[in-house]
Amino acid sequence: MLPEVPSNLVAIVAEELDSTQDQLSEDFLSSLPEHIEALLLVTRHQTAGHGREGRVWFSPDDSALAFSLAVRVKDPRPLGHWPLLIGWAKARTLASWVPFNTLDLKWPNDLLLDGKKVSGSLCSMHQIRGSMWVRMGIGINVGPMKFPSDLDGIATTLAAHTQKSVTRQKVLEALIDSILEDCGELGADDLLRNYAQASSIVQETPISWKENGVEHSGITRGLDADGALLCEEEGKLRPLHVSEISLLRPNSI
Ligand code: BTN
């Protein structure tokens, strides 16, 4: 499962790992020679994948794509743009298998397919020996896979929605291309515009979120220039700086 990669990208395939995100540590990145611009770590069997808020990430053998990609940042962006870049790259890539309008981005970077989660991501920034790195951890339910009962109804797979041949290898190759291209070429305005086109949720959607243990709710009103989700709560418009929102639509996550 090794994609064709540019010469300044190191790619490592591990048969089995606990978590690609944990293994792609700052120590690991600091040991890289200066000419390396990106590092991909992918595993066939992720045994202890995790998601946001400490949740377990379900990665069954052979049908879940689990990888982490660290990229040396050449052109700085607002921090809040990185999760959006990942989300947009995932949406435009998976649109090769399913109609674009069946995909939706749940801010900041969950990808939904027919309203169910098909992909989640982690994103963190790291200053290492004078370079800024962005570290992305991406899980995609390529499928086919059977979900445990707590995920049934809220998660789905790409395989369940396409007649085209889909493998982890093909999705990985296409997604790495998209991410590296967007990191290098996609300007801030285009990113925000593309993201907003791919996400019905950033406009006029009732949501809730937690801040310091307190539950809030409001209606989404687009993105601000930093990539924060704008939300109207009790008549006041404010940018959200949280890692997770919930949709207050019937049957949604
Ligand atoms: C979420 O939706 O909460 C984020 C899920 C992120 C899962 C991926 S799988 C590859 C990488 N390794 C991990 O342990 N997590 C991320």
| CA proximity to 123, closest of 156, 90, 92, 98 | 90
Given a cut of 90, is residue 1 above it in pLDDT?
Answer: no
Cα(244)–Cα(53) distance, integer angstroms:
8
Q: What is the pLDDT of residue 231?
A: 98
| Contact indicator for 54, 19 with CB cutoff of 8 Å | no
Cα(102)–Cα(161) distance, integer angstroms:
9
Distance 237 CA to ligand 1 centre (A): 31
What CA–CA distances, in Å, run from 125 to 99, 100, 109, 146?
32, 29, 15, 33
Name the closest-CA residue to atom 14, ligand 1: 49
Residue 83 beta carbon below 6 angstroms from any ligand 1 atom: no
pLDDT of 10-54, one tens digit each? 999 999 999 999 999 999 999 999 999 999 999 999 999 999 988
pLDDT of 221-241, one tens digit each? 999 999 999 999 999 999 999
Cα(39)–Cα(28) distance, integer angstroms:
10
| Contact indicator for 28, 68 with CB cutoff of 8 Å | no
Given a cut of 90, is residue 250 above it in pLDDT?
Answer: no
Cα(108)–Cα(81) distance, integer angstroms:
9
Q: What is the pLDDT of residue 4?
A: 62
Given a cut of 60, is residue 191 above it in pLDDT?
Answer: yes
Name the closest-CA residue to atom 11, ligand 1: 137
Weakest-pLDDT range from 3-12, 131-140, 200-209: 3-12
Name the closest-CA residue to atom 1, ligand 1: 51
